[in-house]
Amino acid sequence: MQNKKFIQVFEYQKLRYDDSEDFRKHHFDAMVKFNELHQNKYFTIIHQGIRFGSYVGVIQIGGLTIEVLPKADNNENTDKNLWQNVLLNMLKVCKKIQVESISETQLKKRYHSILDVYFELYLNEIERLIKKGLIKKYRKNQSNQNALKGKLLFSQNIQHNLVHKEHFYCEHQIYDKNHLLHQILYKGLLVLKTFVNDSLKDKLNRLLFEFQDIENINIQKKHFDKIIIDRKNNDYQKAIDIAKIIILNYSPSLNYGNEHLLTLLFDMNVLWEEYIFRILQKHKTDEIEVSFQNSDKFWENKHIRPDIVIKTKDETFVIDTKWKIIEANNPSDDDLKQMFVYNLHWKAEKTLLLYPKSNQKDSEYGTFHYDNLGKKCKLGFVDITNEQTIKNSRVLANEIFAKMYY
């Protein structure tokens, strides 16, 4: 049995193979190759190691799982379980994962890593489909038959049956379970064979037995594009969505020895932006309109796109989210210039730069000195945790709405 290793790090942390018994040179080599194939966007290569960036999530290389967690404080003794829960909750709110057992204040079930959540969800969904009964579909099949069945393919018949005149090479329809939906689910199960922990091995093997008659094909993005969800196969939607995540993030070409690489990485800047929008949208009142990623022409073919625009009967506000720790009341010049443009272009009297909180206090509204228009901007800081738990989303939303006015 392959020994499973687990490393948890925070974003922007360094990991060197000379400093770790679990992270070895061959793991480093696989990550370097993977990063190069993705324009070096996920992390930075340093001497004998990796420096993680703004991408969080999981990298699994054979028996080693590296979980990269977000961090919005300067505490060296930060609770990793808390920030794993924060990340899972953000993924749930942003609909990148559907885990009913995760509440907004705590995880009712503890997972080894975020990938384990996806793995268990996937196996549970397939088990549910099997119990309900896997659907059959018609598909075309070409093969040699002892009797004429369907349509005779003349050229292939001559090629295959020049000697055996008693055979017929035909194209005919078969009604069975060996179709694209099940081929995708089967491929996802085969990928999991390399990565699941021991607690899920038995369930995985039982499910693989149910798919023993399904063809193993090389599933790519184009295969998912062919899937059309309708009334008959609607139950497959969740399983197919998870299979897409697993299969398209699997890199079998990045193997060293018997090890393969599977990644599930999210840009925290993008995740933070969507998370704030979704909780504001969920808890807004009827008098407030919240819109996300508004885009408008700015110059020639270039567009301007603020993160969140909030409109009331009398006012327009723009919120720009920034997942980074800054000194209180000291935004960058680029951030202020960006907000000034939002003020003008979206005719907003006030704009808000929203950061995760790390012992800072909100600034007062500052006024831009331009034609006495009275355009204002402030810095706001929100803590998404409440001591050792995840802050309730309604409380968090109300805090953000209040920042726009005071």
Predicted pLDDT at 180 = 94
Residue 276 forms part of a structural domain: no
End-to-end Cα, the chain, rounded Å: 59
- Classify residue 147 by burial, with Cβ atoms within 10 Å: 0-12, 13-18, 19+: exposed
Together in a domain, 335 and 219: no
Output the CA–CA distances (angstroms, integers) from residue 371 to 111, 331, 375, in the order listed: 56, 22, 10
Q: What are phi and psi of 106, to 5 degrees?
A: -165, 160
Query: From edge to edge, which strands make up the β-sheet containing 43-46?
Result: 14-16, 49-52, 43-46
Q: In the structure, what pLDDT confidence band is assigned to residue 161 with cuts at 50, 70 and 90?
A: confident
Give the C-alpha separation, 354 to 57, whole Å. Answer: 23
Q: What is the mean pLDDT of the chain?
A: 87
The string of DSSP letters for 254-270 reads EEETTEEEEEEEEEHHH
Do residues 309 and 170 both lie within one domain? no
103 within some domain: yes
The answer to whether residue 153 is domain-embedded is yes
Query: Is position 25 within any domain?
Result: yes
- Please check the confidence at residue 104 and state whether its pLDDT lies above 70: no
Examine the domain organization and report whether 88 and 14 are in the same domain: yes
Give pLDDT, residue 103. 44
- What is the tally of structural domains in the chain? 3
Cite the DSSP H helix spans in 264-392.
268-283, 333-345
Query: What's the one-letter identity of residue 229?
Result: I
Residue 389, pLDDT score: 86
* Residue 171 parent element (H or E): strand 168-176
| CA dist., res. 383 & res. 376, Å (int) | 23
pLDDT in tens, 204-246: 999 999 999 999 999 999 999 999 999 999 999 999 999 999 9
At 159, the amino acid letter reads Q
Under a CB-based contact definition with an 8 Å cutoff, are residues 207 and 123 in contact? yes
* Predicted local distance difference test score (pLDDT) of residue 368: 92
pLDDT at 3: 59
Per-residue pLDDT at 111? 58
- Average of per-residue pLDDT across 234-261: 82
Same domain for 18 and 79? yes
Q: Tell me the Cα Rg of the chain.
A: 27
- Of 153 and 362, the structure prediction assigns the larger pLDDT to 362
DSSP-assigned states of every residue in 8-19: EEETT-EEETTS
Are residues 258 and 205 both part of a single domain? Answer: yes
Task: For residues 186 and 81, state if they share a domain.
Answer: yes
Asked if residue 310 and residue 370 are part of one domain, the reply reads yes
Q: How confident is the model at residue 37 (pLDDT cuts 50, 70, 90)?
A: confident
pLDDT bracket for residue 258 (50, 70, 90):
low
Task: Answer whether residue 188 shows pLDDT above 90.
Answer: yes
- Reply yes or no on whether the pLDDT at 137 is more than 60: yes
Residue 169, in any domain of the structure: yes
Long-range contacts of 226-232 (CB under 8 A, 24+ apart): 226/180, 227/180, 227/181, 227/184, 232/135
Q: Helix 268-283 to helix 80-93 angle, to the nearest 10 degrees?
A: 60
Residue 293 near residue 305, CB atoms below 8 Å: yes
- Does 191 lie in the same domain as 125? yes
User: Is the pLDDT confidence value at 294 over 60?
Assistant: yes
Percent of the chain whose pLDDT exceeds 70: 93
- Do 262 and 330 fall within a single domain? no
306 and 377 both lie in a single domain: yes
**404: nearest Cα among 376, 368, 373:** 376
The boundaries of the domain holding residue 393 are: 284-405
Same domain, 110 and 246: yes
Say if 279 falls within a structural domain. Answer: no
Please identify, among 267, 300, 316, the residue that sits at the C-terminal boundary of a domain. Answer: 267
Residues 58 and 125 placed together within one structural domain of the fold: yes
